[in-house]
């Protein structure tokens, strides 16, 4: 299962009703924070995101609208007397920047912070446990930037007990072999195919986060057929010149990536403040890719 809560989805400076990038992801019962712009912890409170559930934070790049809320959040964890360690993934330099401010401000954050600094320009596996794996998605922006691909681990195969019951000769002693993929040979010599005795698990679900970035088609093989894609769309096509200059993407370009990667759903966000009507982003992107949704603060996207 995937539940994605949009905490903030606008670019540049925070405004009264517009918060910079941050997302809370629940996938296969694991909980992650992706980016941490100013106001993130306020949004976490507003949308009832459990502070204690988060043990891993992923920062895409070191522009303020994506990580200036991190120090404040870590400081709050200290005030709340957090004891669990926190893993923080982000570009090289994030450790020094974060710890220096916490030190100078004499923060109460005494829990162990483990920084995983990234510098590779190739996609790499950076996190894995028995439920989820996380790979980087190298992006192109004005500073070193990564997106992140979160993928469920494949669930165990299940016994097809209805079919198994049709063969009295098969008993519990055979179950482990069946789960391991073996056929069953009956006393008569008949071979019962493993496929008739097992139920394959559903395809593992996946979510890709791609922000900030210019149009970058070479990420398509990395995010091929993900169930849910968040891709920045800072500008409409009328300002493609500005998108190219600032190394951002347009709504049309985000839709092209979604179409080429054959993703299930596309969420666009990181809107420039020059646009008062964000519905125009969906209208434009839908010309290229049909299943488009707009990121808005508090929106929840779920896939089961």
Q: Could you give the residue numbers annotated as active site?
A: 65
Rg (CA), the chain: 23
| 191 within 8 A of 183, measured Cβ to Cβ | yes
First to last CA, the chain: 5
| 117 within 8 A of 87, measured Cβ to Cβ | no
Q: Which residue has the tokens 């995101």?
A: 49
Dihedral angle over CA of 1, 7, 86, 54, nearest 10: -40
């Amino acid at each position: 299962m995937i539940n994605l809560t949009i905490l903030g989805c606008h670019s540049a400076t925070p405004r009264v009703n517009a918060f910079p990038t941050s997302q809370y992801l629940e996938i296969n019962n694991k909980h992650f924070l992706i980016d941490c712009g100013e106001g993130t912890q306020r949004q976490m409170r507003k949308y009832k995101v459990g502070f204690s559930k988060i043990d891993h934070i992923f920062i895409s790049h070191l522009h303020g609208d994506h990580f200036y809320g991190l120090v404040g959040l870590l400081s709050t964890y200290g005030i709340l007397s957090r004891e669990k360690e926190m893993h923080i993934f982000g570009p090289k330099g994030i450790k020094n920047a974060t710890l220096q401010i916490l030190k100078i401000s004499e923060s109460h954050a005494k829990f162990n912070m483990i920084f995983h600094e990234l510098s590779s320009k190739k996609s790499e596996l950076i996190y894995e446990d028995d439920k989820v794996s996380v790979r980087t998605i190298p992006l192109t922006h004005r500073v070193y930037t990564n997106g992140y691909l979160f993928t469920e681990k494949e669930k165990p195969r299940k016994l097809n007990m209805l079919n198994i019951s049709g063969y009295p000769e098969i008993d519990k002693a055979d179950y482990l072999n069946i789960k391991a993929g073996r056929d069953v040979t009956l006393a008569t010599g008949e071979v019962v195919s493993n496929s008739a005795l097992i139920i394959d698990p559903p395809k593992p679900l996946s979510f890709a986060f791609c922000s900030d970035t210019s149009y970058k088609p070479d990420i398509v093989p990395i995010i091929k057929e993900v169930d849910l894609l968040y891709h920045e769309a800072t500008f409409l096509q009328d300002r493609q010149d500005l998108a190219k200059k600032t190394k951002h993407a347009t709504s049309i370009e985000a839709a092209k990536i979604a179409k080429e990667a054959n993703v299930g759903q596309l969420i666009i966000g990181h809107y420039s403040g020059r646009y008062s009507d964000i519905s125009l982003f969906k209208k434009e992107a839908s010309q290229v890719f049909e299943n488009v949704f707009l990121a808005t603060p508090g929106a929840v996207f779920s896939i089961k």
